[in-house]
Structure 1
Amino acid sequence: MQQQDPNSRPATGYPYPYPYPNQQPPPASAANGYPYQNYHAPHPDPRALLIRRLFIALMVSILIFGLILFIFLIVVRPQLPTVYINSLSVSNFNVSNNQLTGNWDLRLRFENPNSKMSLYYDTVLCAVYYGDDSLSETRLQPFDQGTKDQTPINATLSVSGTYVERQLADSIGKARAEKGSVEFDLRMASVVTFRYGVYRRRRYVRVYCDDVAVGVPGNSSSGKMVGSDKRCNSY
């Protein structure tokens, strides 16, 4: 009987046969313990990408335009016009039986304080008030102003036999008796165009001239503005 060498080793070089010949070996990913995934990266939507790029370009354009406009306004510094009342006189002034009659003659001076921008005034609405009550109004014709220009404007406002409330008539009569003068308020409004080269900007401008005292004693029907030129407030 032949004895087996206890130190003998099995022959190498031949793969060990798969124990289940009718089955395929598991995929490498499963063998390594990781599930197999058939992953494909999604493709971006060309339309969405285009819209995103257009939006970014629009935002950049708006920021650049805003920066340019900001720098322009700092350099040019548009300023509102300055208005003065040079004189205000009243004639044929009478308040009786809740009726008001009078003529207001105005001499105004419009000044353009801008050294780089010209101004164009659309129709100027001018009204004279006593307190909160409008007594008369008129419209002034449009006009231009160059840089640093001054423009004198004359205007006449009239009212004849207009009904007023007794409280207003009593207040005017009391002021004439106690102070010998009546304080009127002047209001003006216009759409002003600021111009610099091709730049145009339209703005609604209001002018308030408050408490303009006119000497009209109780025994007189005419009077003139008390004091010198009066500067109005522009908004």
Structure 2
Amino acid sequence: MDQENPNPPSEQPSKRSTRCCFCLYRVLWIILVTIIILVSLIILVIYIIITPRSFKFHVNQAKLTQFNFTNNNTTLNYNLVLNFTAQNPNKKLKIYYDVVEANAFYKGYNFSATDMNKPLRTLQETKSVDYRMSAVFIGQHVMMLDRDEVDEFQEDYKNGIFGIDIKIYFSIRFRLGNFIFGDTKVQAKCDLKVPLSSNNSGKMVDPFDPTKCVVDF
């Protein structure tokens, strides 16, 4: 009696297992892509909501009562008071000003730095509210001007108006609802034309023109 040949092993389970692995991999990949897209959309929406790009900073008053050189044009004597206004129309966002430092420059020379006076309370600016800060620069600083710069200073003194640049460095945090985040470094630059209050040239000088600062987040 002839023995019957055994049936060859079925390959069906192996193929089914391969298909299941492929389906599982595909599902996991779709889930991963979906999560990435959702997270990206959430980040985009949050950025649109909380971005402080509408933050505005102005110098609305400037009083320069002394700005002259002594000691053979090597020592600058200065007395400058600036008043600023800060505004953030984003009502959803609160701003905490931890550190605000102002630096004053003339002809590219940093002749003074000071911590700005700011409100002690948290600033939550709205479109209708301006919050005020001030900076006082007073003292002396050794500056070695070259001949051309001395001539330019004398021309400025004659005209009664000085080009003074102010750079402001912020260390700020943001609050959205109950979440506080950030510790962001921000810089503002203000290019000012400041009239000398004690102008002795007898020349009529225009009053200070309020100036908008450029804010860089």
Same fold (TM over 0.5): yes
Corresponding position of 2:168: 188
The one-character-per-residue Cα deviations of 1:92-147 (angstroms, maximum 9, x if unpaired) are 32213221111211111112221221111120110111132211111236652114
Q: Counterparts of 2:215 and 2:206 in 1: how far apart (Å)?
A: 21
Q: How does 1:76-155 map to 2 (within 5 A)?
A: 78-96=52-70, 97=72, 98-140=74-116, 143=120, 144-148=122-126, 149-155=129-135
Report the 3-state secondary structure (helix = DSSP H, G, I; strand = E; otherwise coil) of the residue aligned with 2:37: helix
Are 2:103 and 2:166, in contact at CA under 8 Å, matched by a contact in 1? yes
Name stretches of at least 5 consecutive residues in structure 1 with no aligned partner: 1-23, 28-35
Q: How does 1:5-16 map to 2 (within 5 A)?
A: none
Are 1:76 and 1:117, in contact at CA under 8 Å, matched by a contact in 2? yes
Q: Counterparts of 2:90 and 2:27 in 1: how far apart (Å)?
A: 42
Say how many residue pairs are matched: 202
Are 1:185 and 1:209, in contact at CA under 8 Å, matched by a contact in 2? yes
Report the 3-state secondary structure (helix = DSSP H, G, I; strand = E; otherwise coil) of the residue aligned with 2:151: helix
Match of 1:160 among 140, 155, 161: 140
Q: Residues 56 and 164 from structure 1, CA distance in 2 versus in 1: closer, same or farther, beyond 3 angstroms?
A: farther
Report the 3-state secondary structure (helix = DSSP H, G, I; strand = E; otherwise coil) of the residue aligned with 2:14: coil
Name stretches of at least 5 consecutive residues in structure 2 with no aligned partner: none
Q: Residues 90 and 217 from structure 1, CA distance in 2 versus in 1: closer, same or farther, beyond 3 angstroms?
A: closer
Corresponding position of 2:14: 41
The alpha carbon displacement at 1:173 in A equals 1.7
Is residue 2:176 matched to residue 1:215? no
Corresponding position of 1:32: none
Q: Could you tell me which amino acid in structure 2 is paired with residue 176 of structure 1?
A: Y
Q: Counterparts of 1:59 and 1:66 in 2: how far apart (Å)?
A: 11
Are 2:117 and 2:135, in contact at CA under 8 Å, matched by a contact in 1? no
Q: Could you tell me which amino acid in structure 2 is paired with residue 69 of structure 1?
A: I
Identity %: 21
The alpha carbon displacement at 1:68 in A equals 2.1
Are 1:95 and 1:169, in contact at CA under 8 Å, matched by a contact in 2? no
